[in-house]
Homo-oligomer: A and B are copies of this chain.
Amino acid sequence: MAETSLVSQGLELMIFGMGVVFVFLTMLVFVTGFMSTLINKIAPEVKPALAPAAPAAPSAGVDPQLLKVLSAAVKEHRARQK
């Protein structure tokens, strides 16, 4: 009797468990889809015209920008070693 009860409880847990998982994630599918549609309708993301994020460094020599970066890197590195 007790064992039957354990098996039936296990079955119950399995059915409820998979049920809730599917209900939850299915609802999430719909909610997500709905949300995405809504967002892309009312506030479509304006794509920037792929401008180069940072202007390419001048092709030769060590430019000042570079030196700044380096000194920052050095400073950090030193700070860490203390």
Binding site for B on A (CB under 8 A): 54, 57, 59-62, 66-67, 69-74, 76-77, 80
Chain B residue nearest to A66 (CB atoms) is B70
Q: What secondary structure prevails in chain A residues at the interface with B?
A: helix
- The interface residues of chain B lying within 8 Å CB-to-CB of A61 are 59-62
B71 touches A72 (CB 8 A): no
The answer to whether A72 and B74 touch (CB under 8 A), given A57-B62, A62-B60, is yes
A7 to chain B minimum Cβ distance, whole angstroms, is: 47
- The interface residues of chain B lying within 8 Å CB-to-CB of A71 are 54
A58 to chain B minimum Cβ distance, whole angstroms, is: 8
- The interface residues of chain B lying within 8 Å CB-to-CB of A70 are 57, 66, 69-70, 73
